[in-house]
Amino acid sequence: MLVLLAVIAVSVSLAVLIYQRFANALYYAGKMGGPKAYPLIGNADRFRGKLPEGFLLELQNMIAEWGKCFRVWIGTNLIVFVTDAQKVEILLSSQKMLDKSIQYDFLRPWLGDGLLTSTGRKWHSRRKIITPTFHFKILEQFVEIFDQQSTIFVKQLASKASSGETFDIFPKVTLCALDVICESAMGTKVNAQVNSESEYVRAVKEMAAIVLQRSYNILARLDLTFKFTKYRKMQDHALKVLHDYTDSVIRTRRQELSKANQNDDKENALGIRRKVAFLDMLLQTTANGQPLTDLEIREEVDTFMFEGHDTTTSAISYLMDILAKHPDIQQKVYEEICVVFGEDLSKPATLSMLNDLKYLDLVIKETLRLYPSVPMYGRKMLENHEIDGVVFPAGADVLVVPFFMGRDPDYFDNPLEFRPERFAQETSADKANPYRYVPFSAGPRNCIGQKFAVAEIKSLVSKTVRYYELLPPEHEQPHTFISELVLRPERGIPLRIKRRV
């Protein structure tokens, strides 16, 4: 009887707490603008049949109607969309509002509690451990991988240059990025560019689609009903592919390191220093005096694979599209590359050379303004927070949308005009809020791999432009976008290429 009473008391307490939390969210949400919500479903009907292709268009319509800060309900979950730079600055720079939004929970089956999804002490500990792995001396070793895979990439394009046909560059960049990240993260070669039927690539795409559905599809969103949807079976299959591969590589590499003397292992028979993969550094890292477990290592390797694969693919593909459509900008990029690399097309890139590509750096920034690889990211409110006069209630997911911030005429004059020089004009005295441009996020949880990503982009694009002139497709069409975990072109990135020499 006492046990029953205790269970009832706990259940009542939880029910009261949930009711109070929902009532609190309902009260403050009522003070925000947003579309009319209906019982049980909220505003889920606004997205029905529009995922993933029509999501950004629907969001654009809502921003036009409700402004730079508004709320929607997906079932009983409150989501606040923010494109106000002042509010974004307070949110992202906060040392308290660090927990990721519920959308990131849908990545946990794949990434576990890696750096992207972890919170609190665990996040602080992982961030401290992983930050040194992106030191410039280690980045120089990754640049060797960028250059080698870029060389394979330009060879794979040779037939397209000979035929002059229009082709989609996006899947080819995807395979190159996968080769780069696999070798950088795990020290293994999957040879995706040569063997394009990669099960790993398909598994990544499946997980991206599932996360989007779980974000805005009520049945897929709830754990209780998710197991009865088709997405659960898709997820199980994708996770087996992703985790089996990573686990296998970790086991093999741990055995190799245990057999070899550490110093001897770093050099081959010719005395050439072996490149150290991200995985190798994790295997030799300790936390609180203890080595990381295989599961902890898998979480971080999978996170690195996820964050460093699709994101760079998106950025590189849109950048090549821009160069094809803006021959004057492409010519400036090419002339700068010639100055830095000289006449030898096969000359390997170094980190110093890539850093000297200053104009290309401006082109990358301008590309990410219009086509941010991650079109939105979010935070979870653990308690009520007043941000710039608006109370964001406990339990709310706050989503920052850099895709629309970069296209906002309040932040950038003639925002749809591609003008790299706009970033050269920025100085420390610039009064514009720097948080209007946040493709890599900002603050304590900014993208730890930003320098890695930019170096990879520069390496592949500079190598491609050295060999080929990028040309627009024979029949151009305006871009339409798919907003999944990263920004994707609905119809690919069609272009043509012509060999320069």
Q: Tens digits of per-residue pLDDT, 364-392?
A: 999 999 999 999 999 999 999 999 999 99
CA angle 482, 442, 321 (to 5 degrees): 35
CA distance linking residue 142 with residue 350, whole number of Å: 10
**pLDDT at res. 272:** 37
**pLDDT at res. 434:** 92
**pLDDT at res. 15:** 57
- Residues with Cβ < 8 Å from 24, sequence gap 6 or more? 384, 393, 394, 395
- Residues with Cβ < 8 Å from 72, sequence gap 6 or more? 34, 35, 37, 42, 43, 46, 62, 79, 81
pTM: 0.91
CA distance linking residue 168 with residue 157, whole number of Å: 11
Q: In 3-state terms, what secondary structure has residue 163?
A: helix
User: Which residues in the chain land under pLDDT 70?
Assistant: 1-19, 260-275, 426-431
**pLDDT at res. 4:** 58
CA distance linking residue 127 with residue 122, whole number of Å: 8
**pLDDT at res. 77:** 92
Residues comprising the chain, all counted: 501
**pLDDT at res. 426:** 55
Q: Which of 399, 378, 374, 377 is nearest to 68 (CA)?
A: 399
The answer to whether 392 and 70 have CB atoms below 8 angstroms apart is no
Phi–psi pair at 116, nearest 5 degrees: -70, -40
**pLDDT at res. 273:** 46
What's the distance, Cα to Cα, between the start and end of the chain in Å? Answer: 87
Q: Where are the beta strands (DSSP E) in 206-360?
A: 286-287, 290-291
DSSP code of residue 116: T
**pLDDT at res. 199:** 86
CA distance linking residue 415 with residue 372, whole number of Å: 14
CA angle 262, 263, 267 (to 5 degrees): 110
**pLDDT at res. 10:** 56
Phi–psi pair at 407, nearest 5 degrees: -110, 10
| β-strand pairing of 377-380 with 397-400 | antiparallel
Q: Note every long-range contact of 196-199, with CB atoms under 8 Å and residues 24 or more positions apart, other chains counting.
A: 196/171, 199/241
**pLDDT at res. 110:** 95
**pLDDT at res. 491:** 92
Per residue in 72-112, pLDDT (tens digit) is: 999 989 999 999 999 999 999 999 999 999 889 999 999 99
- Token output for 127: 């961030």
Q: Out of 1.10.630.10, 1.10.10.10, 1.20.1250.20, 3.40.50.150, select the CATH number for domain 16-499.
A: 1.10.630.10
